[in-house]
Amino acid sequence: MKSMTRIVSVLLVLLVSVAAFAGCGKTGGTIADPVPDKDGNITLLIGGIGALTGDYAVYGTAVKNGCQLAIDEINEAGGINGLKLALDFQDSQGIAENAVNAYGNLIDKGMVISLGGVMSTETASIVAAAKDDGIFILTPSGSAKSCIEGNDNAFRLCFNDPQQGTASANFIADNSLAKKVAVFYQSDLDYSVGLYENFKKQCAERGIEIVVENSFTESNSTDFSTQINAIKSSEAELVFIPIYAAEAATFLTQARSAELNDVTFFGCDGIDGILEKIDKNDTAIVEGLMMLTPFAADSKEPDVVAFVEKYKTAFGAAPNQFAADGYDAIYTIKAAIEKAGFSKDNVKDFQKGLVAAMTQIEVDGVTGTMKWTADGENNKDAMALVFRNGVAVAFEK
């Protein structure tokens, strides 16, 4: 990682034709020598990291699109007290080492706000460096505890893994979905393990029996016949699958082929985007699949309806939860900047001001109402969606 003990030179952000800030001092976290454009506005460079290519591009592309949509709206409305926003979102392919390199590139470009990484491993790989550099982080979707631990400048917009695991068990119990469940998780993925462990703990509290537990690793994620046979031989009424969309699509395709049809499949936010991983002419694979999420694209709430329509117009598809997380992250940053009282004439102690403001704001976003504690966490209501005829709709008991 490049040293931040020197002031990073001002970089012209060609894609948006505005000047970015110079870099942040390693110890102070302040913005040096802001350079106004011809209209007197100052541009803040926001850096994002996520998969834009590869198996996990469904997540990174959605977050990037959601962020860009919010930035465009804010800038078109005049910015924030003479401050404009610019986004540089770098492709990591979902690989932690690439995320580290991307973070260094963004620092060199004059990033003053970081969105961390889209995936937990990406954010966890840069959180220590960001602390050393004094960079404020708001990750839209990095859910593992390790994403923000040990960094007082780091915050999270999404649920954390323990929250999702606990909420899943509670939802299953509260809605009488099952008394006996199976668990199928990825044992070398922090996201999956974190959900599984807290789900298991809460099941014990709620009187739900886990009758079989099966796992896999990245190296053996193509043939799940052994695990599926074990589930078929059990008395499970529901299968909890805290895994990502690509692996879930493979698992469900094989489970349907093996006629494992008399159980409910239940996942969390990592399932979002699964429709892009299956044959669009065979949506029966996901029929009845449930997932816990803070966002439903078919919501009738006016702010959600407006967001969905704008997103469809801009990108030609309905937004998933990751797009909504990105959108809300940018508006949360806007709220923190306003609360801290920053403007084009006042950017003193910028990083410290953002951190202090985060525990004082409440944001009504498309993913729910959010308030943050000093440990960087927020808690918001979750809902369950169920796939019907190839569309994820709000679950009704």
Cβ atoms of 128 and 105 closer than 8 Å: no
Give, as one character, the DSSP assignment of residue 283: G
Q: What percent of the chain has pLDDT over 90?
A: 78
Cβ atoms of 208 and 265 closer than 8 Å: no
pLDDT of residue 279: 86
Candidate from 30-34, 159-163, 256-260 with smallest mean pLDDT: 30-34
Angle of helix 190-206 relative to helix 120-133, nearest 10 degrees, comes to 110
Confidence of residue 18 (pLDDT cuts 50, 70, 90): very low
**What is the rounded average pLDDT of the residues 106-134?**
95
How much helix, strand and coil, in percent to the nearest 5, is found in the chain? 40, 20, 40
Checking if the pLDDT of 144 tops 80, the result is: yes
Enter the pTM of the model. 0.85
pLDDT of residue 32: 55
CA distance linking residue 21 with residue 347, whole number of Å: 11
Q: Does residue 157 sit in helix, strand or coil? A: coil
Checking if the pLDDT of 6 tops 60, the result is: no
pLDDT of residue 3: 39
Cβ atoms of 154 and 120 closer than 8 Å: no
Confidence of residue 34 (pLDDT cuts 50, 70, 90): low
Checking if the pLDDT of 397 tops 80, the result is: no
Confidence of residue 96 (pLDDT cuts 50, 70, 90): very high
Q: What mean pLDDT, rounded, does the chain reach?
A: 90
Checking if the pLDDT of 200 tops 90, the result is: yes
**What is the rounded average pLDDT of the residues 171-199?**
96
Candidate from 20-34, 41-55, 247-261, 283-297 with smallest mean pLDDT: 20-34
The highest-confidence range among 113-122, 267-276, 290-299, by mean pLDDT, is: 113-122
If one compares 18 and 215, the residue with the highest pLDDT of the two is: 215
**What is the rounded average pLDDT of the residues 193-218?**
97
**What is the rounded average pLDDT of the residues 308-315?**
98
What domains appear along the chain, each with residue ranges and CATH number?
A: 12-159+302-371 (3.40.50.2300), 162-293 (3.40.50.2300)
Q: What percent of the chain has pLDDT over 70?
A: 91
pLDDT of residue 14: 30
pLDDT of residue 35: 64
| Edge-to-edge strand list for the sheet holding 136-139 | 83-91, 42-50, 113-117, 136-139, 154-156
**What is the rounded average pLDDT of the residues 171-198?**
96
Confidence of residue 273 (pLDDT cuts 50, 70, 90): confident
For the chain, how far is it from start to end, CA to CA, in angstroms? 51
Task: Characterize 99-116 residue by residue with b for buried, 16 or more Cβ atoms within 10 angstroms of its Cβ, and e for exposed.
Answer: bbebbeebbebbbbbbbb
Confidence of residue 22 (pLDDT cuts 50, 70, 90): very low
pLDDT of residue 323: 97
Confidence of residue 83 (pLDDT cuts 50, 70, 90): very high
